[in-house]
Structures are given as C-alpha cells and as structure tokens.
Amino acid sequence: MKNKVQKLTASGLCLALALLLPFLTGQIPQIGGMLCPMHLPVLLCGFLCGGPWGLAVGAVAPLLRNLLFGMPPLYPTAISMCFELAAYGAIAGFLYPKMKEKGLTGTYITLLTAMLLGRIVWALVRMILMVGGAAFSLPIFLADGFINAIPGIIVQLLLIPLLVHAVERRK
C-alpha cells in the first residue's frame, strides 16, 4: 500500500481484528489461546502497511485489549506481548520490502524471521519483568514461546503468505 489513508485504514482494520479475533478463538477452550489470534493481524499489518504501522498496531493491541476487555492480564502478559507484537509488526514491515522480489520464499523468510525475533523480544521482556519474582527459564521460553504455540504458528505459516499474496495480486 502506498497511500497513507490506505495504510491508516488497513492498520485500523488490523487493530480491530487483533481486538476481536480472541473472542472467536476463545470459543475453542482447548486451543483458543494457542492459536495466538492477536499475532495474525499484527503480522499482516507489518507486511501490508510497513514497519512503523505494524509496530504501532503491535504495541497498542494488547494494551488496548486489556483496557477494554480486561484480557490479556496486564502484568506480565499484555506488557510482554506489547513488545513481542511490536517487534513482529516492525520486523515484518521493514524486512518484507527487501524480500518481496523473492516471491513466496521471501515472504516465508520474512515471516519466520519476524516470528523468531518477536519471540526472543518477548522472552527478554519477560525475563526483565520477572526479576525478583517467578523464574523465567529456557524450558519456560521453549514451552510458552514455541511448544504451546504450535497451533498458532501453523496458522500463521499457512494464512499470512496466502493473505499477503492475495492482497499483492489485487494491487
């Protein structure tokens, strides 16, 4: 998207989706949270609107959702998610224009990089927040950041490239 009004509109739509998708996935108690519903619109925003827009939507979404609906819990979840999602949106938005000419491969490289670095940011913030409190260890990072998120990771790997390329073709 090239037009600022289009980017603002798409970013607003992605923010709205980030606020509303958890209501839909929450209806599936066994895996609802594991689907990482707020991650999808933030990643999509970064890909389609660019780094600054993705960063802004990612930073605002968890905090606004906590303010409006009381979920996710502010400390430490929403605060650490704020940094994680901001990293997702920023990295996807800054890397994708450089990788776009590589087609689907470039999209996957961008997506995997954003997902991995975003989880590392989440872990670092979580460690800082947990100083003096409960321990945050490598097994907790692997369990919460990857193993418990496998359904969400699969959905992201399937949907984001499809959605990005569908929008790109319509330009």
* pLDDT surpasses 80 at 32: no
CA–CA–CA angle 44, 21, 39 (5° rounding): 40
Mean pLDDT of 88-100: 97
Write out pLDDT tens, residues 97-123. 999 999 999 999 999 999 999 999 999
* pLDDT surpasses 90 at 95: yes
Question: The domain 4-26+35-170 is classified under which CATH number: 1.20.140.10, 1.10.1760.20, 3.40.1160.10, 3.40.367.20?
Answer: 1.10.1760.20
Rounded distance, CA 171 to CA 157, Å?
22
